[in-house]
Amino acid sequence: MAIWIVSLILISTLVLLITERIPVDLTAIGIVVALMVTGILTPVEAVRGFANPAVVTVAAMFLISRAMIRTGAVGFIGQKVLASSGGRARLAYLMVLGIVAVASAFINNTPVVVLFIPVVLTLSCDLEISPSKLLIPVSYASILAGTCTLIGTSTNIIVSDLSDMYAYGQLGMFELSTLGVPIAIVGIAILFFLGPRILPGLVSPVCELDDSEHRIYLAELVVPKKSPLIGQAPETVFDERFASVKVAELIRYNHIYYPPRDSTRISADDLLLVRGSANDLVELLQDGGVELTPSEKDLKFDRKDQEAVVVELIIPPQSSLIGERLYDTQLKRDPDVKIIAIKRIRLHWSEKNLENVQLKNGDILLIQCAVDKLDQMRGRADFIIVEDVHDEIVLRRKARQALVIFAGVIVGASTGLADILTCALTGAFLMILTGCLQLRDAYRALQPNVLLLIAGTIALGTAMEKTGASQLYAERFLGLFAGAGPAVVLAAFLLLTSISTQLLSNNATAVLLIPIAISTAVGLGVHPKPFIIAVCFGASACFASPIGYQTNLLVYGPGGYRFSDYLKLGIPLNLLVLVLGTVFIPVIWPF
């Protein structure tokens, strides 16, 4: 009876995930509830998935990925790929797939995919292509390459250890490469040619937040003594490092200079009225060559101040601030609010400084304030708060620290110094501790729908093993091929492993099916090695669903995918592994 109940829950889950009649996170919760209510799992067993290393690892990787984006650490990789490709989207796409594949053959592919998710998002904006056409191929390329070496995926290591435990010897470091490399090459070719054509083209919200003309602000800056800007021409002083920042006016005592019409050089104590993007203005202030006016000198952008955020305030038509001088408003007198800049359509640049600006309908103020102050301001009708500008600020000064932490995660996980969970959790902790990621941003970086999906499917997998449903499915499936030759049974076993890994994790699939593989081979009177190898390739052929492998889940949220999107490329890749495995495994590892 228990097997029938689990089977019904399994079928219902697949239907709901594929059709998405209800959100996937709600489906995941439903799995847990159904297994508890029916008594298949105890409450402790049902929720144990929330403490599973896979859930915590993926959550930690989300935080590390967010920190890599916020510090601009991934921008360097994206710029190199973009520069090497000459701005050609197809070549950049091929380079990303190639780099991911080579790295994933020797390094745990989860951190590799985490690193390249923001790189792909950045490239998609620069090359004007949809990231949803690239992220699934990146995950699949990492999975394909993972089958090329013993350390490419944890599944291969598990199979090797089990093979040795059953007295059939461990796998060599490059033993799988003979077949793994050709499969990876053909698979990447399929991804390259089919991926952009059949995957959905969804608009990336990241690109919509890019600094553009509508995000240009007016700010007043002071040139301090000993500034490196002294003696430089104001019209070109920021071109090299802060391209969006332009000097509109240079104010010296009572005289106003208009670069480039008026020829002059920057001197100490000059006031610069500049226009620029939020990101470049903040970076410029951090650089130390200029300062805000004396009244705002205590403004700080240190990310160790965990409560400080940068937001926009839009002045609406009903605001009581309209007509007031900016520096006479209560906003300016509030010690918890620091005004960085103002933006106005068709602003009169001839105004000597910001003190004379009278607020108008549609003005946008760029401010810094504490989170608790922001909560107090939300209910006021004098302005509309726009918070997404806070997420645009790239903390380049923290990029080196973020790269060092991420490198430590990769080295530790790939060399066996510590397991991937320990490395990922330590990396996330250090990102927050060093200020590479604000704690507030860390909570927002978590994707609860993905984490719930992992926990729910882990519970389902536990139920299938506990009730014997998995064992029964495997035996009944292989029973269909009773009396067939070893080659046919091997093909069937590859198919069984490939189907199982879509529902269970690849590691659980390997542990479950290795004993069945060996007993099947012994029953046929042939050497078990081809069947052991089939488990390696079949268990890693988890292309047709997001729940089959961690990297598929990692790209699920950023790509905005549906469950069914994984079938479009996943089924061809599963067929590729099935056909090439059936043909060449008996040749390379004879019966």
Residue pLDDT, tens place only, 87-126: 788 888 898 898 888 888 876 677 678 778 777 877 777 7
Question: For the residues 47-72, what does the mean pLDDT come to?
Answer: 77
DSSP string, 109-160: HHHHHHHHHHHHHHHHHHHT--GGGTHHHHHHHHHHHHTTSTTSSHHHHHHH
Tell me if 236 sits within 8 A of 264, measured CB to CB. Answer: no
Question: For the residues 12-16, what does the mean pLDDT come to?
Answer: 79
| Cα 45 to Cα 561: distance, rounded to the nearest angstrom | 30
β-strands 364-370, 337-343 pairing: antiparallel
Reply yes or no on whether the pLDDT at 307 is more than 70. Answer: no
**Which residues are within 8 A (CB) of 178 and not within 5 positions of it... i.e. 6 or more apart?**
588
β-strands 308-314, 216-222 pairing: unpaired
Lowest-confidence segment of 90-94, 134-138, 287-291 by average pLDDT: 287-291
3-class SS string, 76-114:
HHHHHHHHHHCCCHHHHHHHHHHHHHHHHCCCCHHHHHH
Question: For the residues 15-24, what does the mean pLDDT come to?
Answer: 74
Lowest-confidence segment of 107-121, 165-179, 341-355, 377-391 by average pLDDT: 341-355
Question: For residue 500, what pLDDT is reported?
Answer: 82
- The rounded percent of the chain whose pLDDT value lies above 70 is 84
> pLDDT-based confidence at 308, cuts 50/70/90?
low
Question: For residue 547, what pLDDT is reported?
Answer: 73
Tell me if 517 sits within 8 A of 528, measured CB to CB. Answer: yes
- Domain ranges within the chain, ordered by starting residue: 71-205+468-556+564-588, 213-392
Residue pLDDT, tens place only, 252-262: 876 778 787 77
Superfamily of domain 213-392: Regulator of K+ conductance, C-terminal domain (3.30.70.1450)
- Long-range CB contact pairs, 319-325, < 8 A, 24+: 319/359, 319/361, 319/381, 319/382, 319/383, 320/381, 320/382, 321/359, 321/382, 321/383, 322/359, 322/360, 322/361, 323/358, 323/359, 323/360, 324/358, 324/359, 325/355, 325/356, 325/357, 325/358, 325/359
Which amino acid is located at 311 in the chain?
V
Among 379-393, 395-409, 519-533, top mean pLDDT goes to 519-533
Question: For residue 345, what pLDDT is reported?
Answer: 55
- The more confidently predicted of residues 394 and 408 is 408
Question: For residue 10, what pLDDT is reported?
Answer: 81
Task: Supply the DSSP symbol for 285.
Answer: H
Among 304-313, 327-336, 410-419, top mean pLDDT goes to 327-336
DSSP string, 364-396: EEEEEEEHHHHHHHTT-SS-EEE-GGGGG---G
Looking from the CA of 248 toward its CB, the CA atoms found within 13 Å total: 19
Reply yes or no on whether the pLDDT at 299 is more than 80. Answer: no
Q: How many CB atoms lie within 10 A of CB 51?
A: 10
**Secondary structure of residue 322 in the 3-state scheme:** coil
> pLDDT-based confidence at 301, cuts 50/70/90?
very low
| Cα 545 to Cα 553: distance, rounded to the nearest angstrom | 9
Reply yes or no on whether the pLDDT at 288 is more than 60. Answer: yes
Reply yes or no on whether the pLDDT at 229 is more than 60. Answer: yes
Residue pLDDT, tens place only, 144-155: 998 888 877 778
| Cα 583 to Cα 574: distance, rounded to the nearest angstrom | 14
Question: For the residues 286-299, what does the mean pLDDT come to?
Answer: 66
- The more confidently predicted of residues 396 and 23 is 23
Looking at every residue in the chain, the average pLDDT score rounds to: 79
Q: Can the peptide bond before residue 486 be classed as cis, meaning omega within 30 degrees of 0?
A: no
